[in-house]
Structure 1
Amino acid sequence: MQEEVESRSVTLIISSAKLTARVLKAAIAKYLAHRKDKKIAKARAGSVVPHGKQSVKELVGQNAGVSNLEITDSNIKSFDRVARKYGVDYAVKKDRSVSPPKYLVFFKARDADALTAAFTEFTAKTIYRAKRPSVLSRLQQFKELVKANTIDRVKHKEQERTR
């Protein structure tokens, strides 16, 4: 009886080993297929051209001819919004060699017209912001008006009581 149990357990172990080898072979095959699919997907993704803000290296790598403009304004974020609106592919590089840092905006040569329109809108917004008074200064003016108005009322009440 003991011998029969031992032989069955050995048989069970052998069949498990074979099953494990089959499973291992299938797992390796699936892994290799997965790697192949990933490689193909990565190759497809590499062919997709990035749009909007990107690095200078990516912009030059598109072989479309690159031009640049210089911006001295530190508010580059507002330019980013306008450039996205016009669909311009560009890269911003900060030049720290100058004491007020300047920004170089690289763009594709074929996007020159769109970039001109974007810069026109950007400069118009910048000029409008510089021209309009700040909210704090307007608030201060209104505070002074209210303060002057309330002092006037107090004087009138005192004069009426003394009569």
Structure 2
Amino acid sequence: MQEEVENRTLTLVVSGTKFTGRMFKAAISKYMAHRKEKKLEKQRSRDAPVVPHGKQTVKQLVGQNQGISNIEITDPSIKEFEKIARKYGVDYAVKKDRSSSPPKYLIFFKGRDADALTAAFTEYTNKKVKKATKTERPSVLAKLMRSSWQTIRIRRK
């Protein structure tokens, strides 16, 4: 109960030479007007339509009337691209095209985000190339297993 009362306390600082009842009434009315204005401002901001950012549906993207473009990706690991696109602040929508045997992904984005998407796509392709070169090399564990089998064969002979 005490904490609730402490959380609702208000500090009002009024500077003046002589503190009167009228001055106190004016200070309280000014504060109440300020609170009412803040409440109306908050309500107006809530009523305003929220513009979505990041991943969204194609319908939301088209509804923003900023022109859209698209890129086609055949790689099934689309999650990595989504992480990079969020990093660059790109508004985009992903649509899966199932008409082909390996499904393709169409990434729609705003026309104004073209430069940011180019940078994000460059980083995505660099990551993919790096991952492809890593998979070509055998893992350390596989090397150790191979060498241990070779030592076992040598001992048996």
TM-score (normalised: structure 2): 0.65
- Residues 54-102 of structure 1: per-residue CA shift (max 9 Å, x gap): 0001111111111111111111000001101111000000011111110
Match of 2:73 in 1: 71
2-structure distance, mates of 1:62, 1:91: 13
Match of 2:63 in 1: 61
Residue 110 of structure 1 aligns with an amino acid whose one-letter code is R
Q: Among the aligned pairs, what percent are the same residue?
A: 57
1:87 to 78, 85, 89: 89
Matched, 1:43 2:41: no
- Residues 78-134 of structure 1: per-residue CA shift (max 9 Å, x gap): 000110111100000001111111010000000000000000000010111111137
2-structure distance, mates of 1:115, 1:41: 30
Match of 1:97 in 2: 99
Q: Which runs of 5+ in 2 are unaligned?
A: 1-42
Paired residues, number: 118
1-structure distance, mates of 2:94, 2:135: 30
Q: Which runs of 5+ in 1 are unaligned?
A: 1-38, 156-163
Match of 2:134 in 1: 132
Across the aligned residues of Structure 1 and Structure 2, the Cα RMSD in angstroms comes to 2.8
2-structure distance, mates of 1:60, 1:128: 34
Residue 132 of structure 1 aligns with an amino acid whose one-letter code is K
2-structure distance, mates of 1:42, 1:98: 44
2-structure distance, mates of 1:83, 1:101: 21
2-structure distance, mates of 1:122, 1:130: 12
2-structure distance, mates of 1:67, 1:97: 20
More helix by share: 1
**How far 1:142 moved relative to its partner?**
1.4
Match of 1:23 in 2: none
TM-score (normalised: structure 1): 0.63
**How far 1:137 moved relative to its partner?**
4.7
Residue 93 of structure 1 aligns with an amino acid whose one-letter code is K
Match of 2:124 in 1: 122
**How far 1:135 moved relative to its partner?**
8.4
Secondary structure of the 2:53 match is: coil
Moved over 6 A (4+): none
Secondary structure of the 2:55 match is: coil
